[in-house]
Amino acid sequence: MFERFTKDARAVVLGAVGHSERMGAETVEEQHLLLSLLDREGSRASFALASLGLDRHKESVTEALAQARRRGGLSRADADALSGLGLDLSEIVSRIEEAHGVGALESEGKAKGRGKGWWSGFLGGHRPFTRGAKDLLTESLRIALAQHDRHIGDEHLLLALTARPGVPAEVLADHGVTYASLRRVLYGGGEAKAS
């Protein structure tokens, strides 16, 4: 399906690999795709993000992603769920950091992807995509098809990020970027409830 990707979408995927490399991660994750989307200029996704004011808050997004990594990649929704069990995630993180150093829970993303992902052929790399990142790409295809778009653009990747639960969607929502708000700026507000 990679042949359906627009130039911008391919750039996002390749950029994500770069982010993963620079961060010393073993795999390419959804957060790397988000970071790569933030790098884009003059694309459909960057237009949508700017319309929602995110172009002025990129650092805040980057910071929120870093905090989530420190929590072992768990989202706030995860933390809430754990607190329902009487477990205080921030307490656990601080105990682990006391014993093993700050950032001990970071970058433990161990071999969640398989050795050679289907993207590695195109990308020519050995850096596997996590299951979540692969699912995201599949989701972007589904969204493009539902929209009767022939190509998968970076806006579909962005929509897919907001459509799936997890840290990226949560961080984006905290900055006013949701599936609904994106659809509104990308496709017009007709069908969504006008406010």
Interface residue list for another protein (CB under 8 A) = 72-74, 77-79, 81-82, 84-87, 89, 92, 96, 99-100, 104-105, 108, 110-111
Q: Which is nearer to another protein, 99 or 194 (CB)?
A: 99
Smallest distance from another protein to CB 151, Å = 33
Smallest distance from another protein to CB 152, Å = 28
DSSP, res 46: H
Smallest distance from another protein to CB 126, Å = 13
Q: Which is nearer to another protein, 86 or 190 (CB)?
A: 86
Q: Which residues contact 91 (CB under 8 A, 6 or more apart)?
A: none
Q: Which is nearer to another protein, 87 or 145 (CB)?
A: 87
- The C-alpha atoms of residue 185 and residue 64 are separated, in whole angstroms, by 24
- The C-alpha atoms of residue 170 and residue 57 are separated, in whole angstroms, by 15
Q: Which is nearer to another protein, 105 or 158 (CB)?
A: 105
Asked if residue 186 lies in contact with residue 51, where contact means CB atoms within 8 angstroms, the answer is: no
3-class SS letters over 118-133: HHHHHHCCCCCECHHH
Strands of 70-195, DSSP E: none
Smallest distance from another protein to CB 172, Å = 19
